Amino acid sequence: MASISVQSKDFNIGKEIALLKGADNEVGAIVTFTGTVRDVGGTLETMTLEHYPGMTEKELERIAVIAEDRWPLRGCRVIHRYGTLKPGDNIVLVITQSAHREAAFKAAEFLMDFLKSNAPFWKKESRADSEKWVESKQSDTASLEKWKNE
């Protein structure tokens, strides 16, 4: 069963991997993805992420269940942060584990493609001279579309 957290506090990647794996000796592959606040151009001061509590968790749980149904996962962990973050801060952690690497890799990629394009978060970038809401990119939507045929 997937474990989902939407939280303001940072996460410890090593601790999260250890907690998910536990004593499961049938895990042969653990794949992780960590997304961080990127500062293209060196002018970003902060990124603020907002969400609707309750709705966001349900949507992340829904997509994690789809991943667990599609691939033989032995565990799945998704952590997404909200609040005001600075360049370099962690935003998201996805961990998938399976007996074999292919399932773990595909499930992690699937989850990130969903998070990048459809997760109910709103991002605002703040720079010294401006603020703007970040819109979803066409390339993110296209990445999610490929899973319909797999």
Q: How confident is the model at residue 9 (pLDDT cuts 50, 70, 90)?
A: very high
Q: Which amino acid is at 43?
A: T
Q: What is the pLDDT of residues 87-120, one digit of tens each?
A: 999 999 999 999 999 999 999 999 999 998 888 9
Q: Work out the percent of the chain whose per-residue pLDDT is above 70.
A: 99
- pLDDT recorded at residue 116: 87
Assign domain 3-134 to a CATH class. Answer: alpha beta
Q: Tokens 């819109």 appear where?
A: 135
**Helical residues (DSSP H) of the chain, grouped into ranges:** 13-21, 55-70, 101-117, 138-145
Find all residues with CB under 8 Å of 81, minimum gap 6, and list them: 6, 7, 8, 9, 10, 11, 49, 89, 90, 91, 92
Find all residues with CB under 8 Å of 145, minimum gap 6, and list them: none
Q: What is the mean pLDDT of residues 17-43?
A: 94
- Across the strands, what pairs with 76? 96
Comparing CA positions, the residue from 119, 26, 129 lying closest to residue 81 is 119
- pLDDT recorded at residue 118: 85
The three-class DSSP label of residue 105 is helix
Give the Cα separation of 79 and 49 in Å (integer): 13
